[in-house]
Amino acid sequence: MRVQLMAGLTLLATACATPWALESAREDLSNAGEFTSAKVGYSGERSEYADALKLLARRRSSEDYFLQLTELSTGAPALYGLCGLHLLDSIHFRTAAVRVSASAEPVPTMQGCIVNSFSPADIVSGAWNGGSFTDFCDDLVQ
């Protein structure tokens, strides 16, 4: 019963997200300095970037924003944009993945409490964590 109540409240909060909350989430992802797992730090708190992605990825209208991140940004913002395109099952995902992977600029990452830097190509290919990029994106919004 408690799980159903929490799921219902989460759905209601997402459906009722204010324009300010949506703009704040866009700003967070646009200015992200690192690409993180859903939970970070020794305490395992949810990443602010994971929360922002989760809020935006539940809105089909965010597709253009995510596409812009992959076209106009580099580093973590471009990777979050790519995650957003995957989560929305966008037809632009594969093309954007090639574009984002082409950058040679290392991206600061944080997985749990492990801080590192990887190339976008290593992140998109899954070589950085031994898993799939799309599975990683799916985990960000759980």
What residue ranges do the domains of the chain occupy?
19-140
Mean pLDDT of the residues in the chain = 90
Dist. CA 116–CA 79, nearest whole Å: 15
Please compute the mean of the pLDDT values over residues 1-25 and round it to a whole number: 60
Q: What is the pLDDT of residues 110-141, one digit of tens each?
A: 999 999 999 999 999 998 888 999 999 999 99
Q: What is the pLDDT of residues 64-114, one digit of tens each?
A: 999 999 999 999 999 999 999 999 999 999 999 999 999 999 999 999 999
CB within 8 A of 25, min separation 6: which ones?
A: 51, 52, 53, 55, 56
At residue 129, the pLDDT reads 86
What tokens does 89 get? 């099952």
Return the higher-pLDDT residue of 41 and 17.
41
Total-model pTM:
0.88
Half-sphere exposure (CA, 13 Å, Cβ side) for 53? 33
Contact 80, 67 (CB under 8 A): no
At residue 16, the pLDDT reads 62
Sign of CA dihedral 83, 86, 104, 116: positive
